[in-house]
A and B are shown apart, each in its own frame.
Chain A
Amino acid sequence: GIQVEQSPPDLILQEGANSTLRCNFSDSVNNLQWFHQNPWGQLINLFYIPSGTKQNGRLSATTVATERYSLLYISSSQTTDSGVYFCAVPTTSGTYKYIFGTGTRLKVLA
């Protein structure tokens, strides 16, 4: 089945720094989501981005479906950005499954 790998697994930043998180997937996909899981376990939607580039405030995302990767950019990081970031993709053949990546754990220091 499809494999979804994220990098880096862990990231520590000073407040105000910028970062790039990467999501690689092993098969073609027709949609992709980025989520932020806060310390209380709530998964917050960041982007629904099957292809192209989207921006929302300090965050932006780019998916290059033909090369099977997506990037999440965080600029001017804040302590509230801390948590785990996941990308997730659906299978496109066989039994339907929705696969989450391995996650990037981000800690932003004040």
Chain B
Amino acid sequence: DAGVTQSPTHLIKTRGQHVTLRCSPISGHKSVSWYQQVLGQGPQFIFQYYEKEERGRGNFPDRFSARQFPNYSSELNVNALLLGDSALYLCASSFNGPFGTGLSEQYFGPGTRLTVT
């Protein structure tokens, strides 16, 4: 079975532009989460979606938004890019959503490396 896939692998954007990152979860998984990892730090939680609804949100500005489609794939959108948005963006999938004690193990994709110049 394929793991979590993300596209694109790398991306270079200019300040002020908009970017869309994509994620396909493991087959059968209904939850997708997004994380930002700045160089030298741990991943920071941005969003979790379960059954197409937002179920969790981290401390990120409204420039960050996401959605989940009926096939459970997801998009992360970032508007008005800043230099500080340069990071590795990670997507994770799990079978269950938040606040579950079972089947909520998260599996990560390879990430999208975004550079903002």
User: Which positions in A face B, CB cutoff 8 Å?
Assistant: 30-31, 33, 35, 40-43, 45, 48, 50, 86, 88, 90, 92, 95-103
* Chain B 32-61: CB-based contact to A (< 8 A → 1; otherwise 0): 010101000011110010000001111000
Choose the segment among B13-21, B62-70, B74-82, B104-112 that binds chain A (4+ C-beta atoms closer than 8 Å): B104-112
Are the CB atoms of A45 and B107 closer together than 8 Å?
yes
- Chain B residues within 8 Å of A45, by CB: 105-108
Query: Given contacts A31-B101, A43-B108, A90-B98, are A98 and B42 in contact (CB under 8 A)?
Result: no
User: Which positions in B face A, CB cutoff 8 Å?
Assistant: 33, 35, 37, 42-45, 48, 55-58, 88, 90, 92, 98-99, 101, 104-108, 110-111, 113
A51 to chain B minimum Cβ distance, whole angstroms, is 10
- Chain A residues within 8 Å of B110, by CB: 40-42
Task: Choose among A30, A33, A96 the residue that contacts B106 (Cβ–Cβ < 8 A).
Answer: A33
- Chain A residues within 8 Å of B45, by CB: 97-100
Residue of A90, A98, A102, A103 most packed against chain B (CB within 10 A): A98
For the complex, give the distance between the alpha carbons of A86 and B107 in Å: 14
- Which chain B residue lies CB-closest to A44? B108
For the complex, give the distance between the alpha carbons of A35 and B90 in Å: 13
Are the CB atoms of B88 and A41 closer together than 8 Å?
yes
For the complex, give the distance between the alpha carbons of A92 and B106 in Å: 16
- Chain A residues within 8 Å of B98, by CB: 90, 96, 98
A46 to chain B minimum Cβ distance, whole angstroms, is 11
Are the CB atoms of B108 and A42 closer together than 8 Å?
yes
Are the CB atoms of B43 and A43 closer together than 8 Å?
yes
Are the CB atoms of A100 and B44 closer together than 8 Å?
yes
Task: Choose among B37, B57, B104, B111 the residue that contacts A31 (Cβ–Cβ < 8 A).
Answer: B104
Are the CB atoms of A86 and B101 closer together than 8 Å?
no
For the complex, give the distance between the alpha carbons of A50 and B98 in Å: 14
